[in-house]
Structure 1
C-alpha cells in the first residue's frame, strides 16, 4: 500500500450478552497489527486525526463511542476542543501523575460531555482513588491481576457507580469469571482481536 495511506486499529468492547457497546481505537502506522509507540501524545493525535478526519468517525465508529488513550499532555491539549465529546471516551493512562491541575481538567472535560475512564487498573492506590469520583468507567487489566486478588479488587470497587470493564479477557472461562464477579463490559481476544482499518478499506 502507498505510504500516504492512513491506518487505525479498532477492537470491539462488548457487554455481558457479548453485544457490541463501543470500540477502542488504537495507533497503527502500517497494515501490521501491532504498534510501536514512541510518544503517547503523537500516537493519540494520529488516532484522532485518522478516526475523525482521514477515515471519518461514522465509518470507524458507527453509532458507538470510541475509547482512546489519553496521556496527561493530551488531556491538556486544545485538540480536544475540536472533537465531538459525545463520541469519545478518554482513557487516562496509568502513567499519568495526579495533580490538582489534572483533577480540575478532568472535571472540565466531563462537564463538556467527555466520558473518562481509568485505564489498566491493577490496584487502587492514592492516585486511582483521587480520580475515581471523576471517571465514568474503570478498566481492570485482568491479565495483570492475580486470579486470587481479582475478587478483592472488584470488592474495593463496589462503591463505584460507573461501568466496570474487564480488559485483556482472553478466554471464555475468563469472561464467565468476570461476569460472575459483576463486571459490566469486556474487551479481549475471547471476543475479537483488533483489526486494522485504512483509508482504502473505508473508501
Structure 2
C-alpha cells in the first residue's frame, strides 16, 4: 500500500516571560494551516492518534504538555479511557453542558492523572463554579471580553488557584494588559501562529 501523509497543527503557549510551556494540538487535514472540522469527535480522535502513534510524543510535544480540544461526546465516551494521561491537557469545549454527569466524569479523569482546561470562558456561571475545583487551566476568549469584563472575570477566578490562559493575544499591548491583570499564560498570533507538522505514514 502507498504511504499516506499525516498532519498535525501545533500552536505554542508561553508564560509571562514569553518562554514556551505547552502546545495546543490542532486538527489539520493538509499542509494548509486551517482546520476543516466536520465532526469534532473524529477530529480529536485523529489528533490523539497522530500525537501518540503517527508522530509520537517526542515529535509532537518535545517534552511539553499538549492541550487537546474535547467535546461532550468524546468526554463522555470510552476513547479517553484508553489514552495515557501523561502530558495531556483535556480542553473542555464551551459547548459542553456542565451537568452532574459531566462533573463526575471530569472527577474520574482527574483521578486517572489528566489535567483539565475550560475553553473560551467569557462568564462564570453556577455550573462553572461546581466544576472549577477540578480545573487546572481556564482559557479566556479575549475577543469576546472588553477590558472591564476581562478584569472582573480574572478577579472572580483568582480564588480558585488555577492558571489563567489568555488566547487570541494579537498584539504587545494586549499581552501587557493581560500580564498586568495577573494572567499566567498566553497564546495567539502575537506569540506565534500555528504551524503544521507532517510525516509519511505507512498504511498496512
Report the TM-score range of the alignment, normalised by the length of the smaller protein: over 0.9
Separation of aligned partners in 1, 2:127 and 2:16: 29
Q: Secondary structure at the match of 1:148?
A: helix
Aligned structure 1 segments of 4 or more residues deviating by more than 3 angstroms: none
Deviation of residue 3 (structure 1)? Answer: 8.3
- SS of 1:183's equivalent in the other structure is coil
Q: What CA deviation, in whole Å up to 9, does each residue of 1:20-78 have, x standing for no partner?
A: 10000000011100112121111100100111111111111011010000111111232
Q: Which runs of 5+ in 2 are unaligned?
A: none
Alpha-carbon contact 2:139-2:166 (below 8 Å) kept: yes
| CA-to-aligned-CA distance 1:124-147 (integer Å, 9 cap, x gap) | 122322211111111111121112
Partner of 2:101: 101
Greater mean deviation of Cα atoms: 63-72 or 138-147: 138-147
Instruction: Trace 1:75-154 onto structure 2 (pairs within 5 A).
Output: 75-154=75-154
Residue 81 of structure 1: how far off its partner (Å): 2.4
Q: What do residues 86-131 of structure 1 show as CA deviations (whole Å, max 9, x unaligned)?
A: 2100000000011111110000000100000000011112232221
| Cα root mean square deviation, aligned | 1.3
Give the number of aligned pairs.
199
TM-score (norm 1): 0.94
Q: Within the alignment, does 1:60 sit opposite 2:60 as a pair?
A: yes
Q: 1:38 is matched with which residue?
A: 38
Is 2:156 aligned against 1:156? yes
* Runs of 5+ unmatched residues, structure 1: none
Larger displacement relative to structure 2 (65-74 or 75-84): 75-84
